[in-house]
């Protein structure tokens, strides 16, 4: 099976390697290539077939369906794994928004709440909440953008430290909640609950707020199946996951993925299942069939990016 682990293209610009994407930076644009790397707990854990293609194509769907809310960076989709975006000055804040109290990571809302935290700076949660419960309204839990481990931020932190101006921060909050509302509405129409997600913004050459990176993908978002949610919650069961949570849970059970230097390899059957889920979520969200690209991925991408050689 042809899997894209990494790229090494020449003359496309300065290369930056992210958790999942290889990014080539030019003077006025960035070329983002989604690989099949699977990242969780601040590390790469496995390679998932077709994952990069799914991420790019789901983002394409959502960029198109939210461009009336906020401008986005998209210039071109020259390949099924690639988006070419306008180069923006990236704002160093990840806009994390949550509609439900859930999660298993050390920084998840449920973990923090279950350990006794109630005051989250910009909002306070009441006692007596249950895991996977819907919040009274979506909440923002922004974090720093860091290569190792993101740190939580509050409005006071952002304004006092002058990370961005108060005016820009208020606009970012407003746009974030509107994007999340649209995401939840469209997802529900397709039988899904958009549980939580994160957005990244930048400023374009004219200083206009611009949505960058990706949007509402299975990597940046958590999805549950809507039709079984109520029944499973009433039965004391976990919601029917439609993201990478089950593989996160497996690693959490087998080791300490934050601290262990060596971790066990992901079981092949779980890798295959996650690949199937990535393709299935594409089809459910977009309402179109997933077209598997055959042949050598790197050669195909290289050929499709010839016009961007500098």
Question: Could you read off the pLDDT of 108-145 as tens digits, one per residue?
Answer: 999 999 999 999 999 999 999 999 999 999 999 999 98
Cβ atoms 196, 223 nearer than 8 A: no
Q: Is pLDDT at 149 greater than 70 in this prediction? A: no
Mean pLDDT of 216-245: 91
**Which three-class secondary structure state does DSSP give residue 286?**
helix
According to the model, what pLDDT value does residue 242 have? Answer: 73
Cα separation, 149 vs 223, whole angstroms: 23
Give the three-class secondary structure for 172: helix
Q: Give the chain's domains with CATH numbers.
A: 14-308 (3.30.470.20)
- Average pLDDT of span 210-238: 95
**pTM of the predicted model as reported, rounded to 2 decimal places:** 0.91
Q: 225-231: which pairs have CB atoms within 8 A and are 24 or more residues apart?
A: 225/191, 225/192, 225/193, 226/188, 226/191, 226/192, 226/193, 227/191, 229/193
In the chain the beta strands, taken as DSSP E runs, fall at 14-17, 21-25, 29-34, 37-40, 43-47, 71-72, 74-79, 82-86, 89-101, 133-140, 143-144, 192-203, 209-212, 221-225
pLDDT band at 191 (very low <50, low <70, confident <90, very high): very high
Q: Decide if pLDDT at 57 tops 90.
A: yes
- First CA to last CA across the chain, in angstroms? 32
The residue behind tokens 């997600």 is 197
pLDDT score at 148: 60
Which DSSP state fits 288? S
């Amino acid at each position: 099976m042809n899997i894209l682990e990494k790229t090494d293209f020449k003359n496309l610009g300065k290369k930056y390697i992210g958790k999942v994407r290889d990014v080539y930076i030019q003077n006025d644009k960035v070329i983002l290539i989604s690989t099949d790397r699977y990242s969780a707990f601040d590390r790469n854990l496995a390679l998932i077939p077709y994952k990069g293609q799914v991420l790019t194509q789901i983002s394409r769907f959502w960029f198109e369906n939210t461009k009336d809310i906020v401008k986005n960076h998209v210039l071109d989709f020259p390949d099924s794994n690639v988006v070419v975006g306008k180069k923006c000055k990236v704002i160093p804040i990840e806009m994390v928004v949550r509609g439900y109290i859930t999660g298993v990571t050390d920084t998840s809302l449920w973990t923090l709440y279950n350990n006794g935290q109630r005051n989250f700076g910009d909002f306070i949660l009441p006692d007596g909440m249950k895991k996977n419960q819907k919040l009274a309204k979506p909440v923002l839990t922004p974090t720093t953008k860091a290569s190792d481990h993101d740190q939580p931020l509050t409005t006071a932190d952002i304004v006092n430290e002058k990370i961005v101006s108060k005016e820009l921060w208020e606009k970012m909050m407003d746009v974030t909640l509107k994007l999340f509302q649209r995401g939840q509405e469209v997802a529900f129409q397709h039988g899904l609950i958009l549980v939580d997600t994160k957005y990244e913004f930048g400023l374009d050459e004219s200083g206009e707020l611009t949505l960058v990176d990706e949007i509402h993908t299975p990597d940046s978002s958590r999805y549950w199946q809507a039709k079984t949610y109520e029944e499973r919650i009433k039965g004391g069961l976990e919601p029917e996951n439609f993201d990478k949570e089950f593989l996160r849970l497996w690693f959490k059970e087998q080791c300490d993925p934050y601290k262990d230097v060596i971790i066990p390899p992901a079981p092949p059957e779980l890798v295959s299942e996650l690949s199937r889920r990535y393709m299935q979520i594409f089809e459910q969200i977009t309402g179109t069939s997933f077209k598997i690209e055959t042949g050598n991925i790197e050669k195909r991408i290289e050929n499709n990016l010839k016009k961007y050689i500098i």
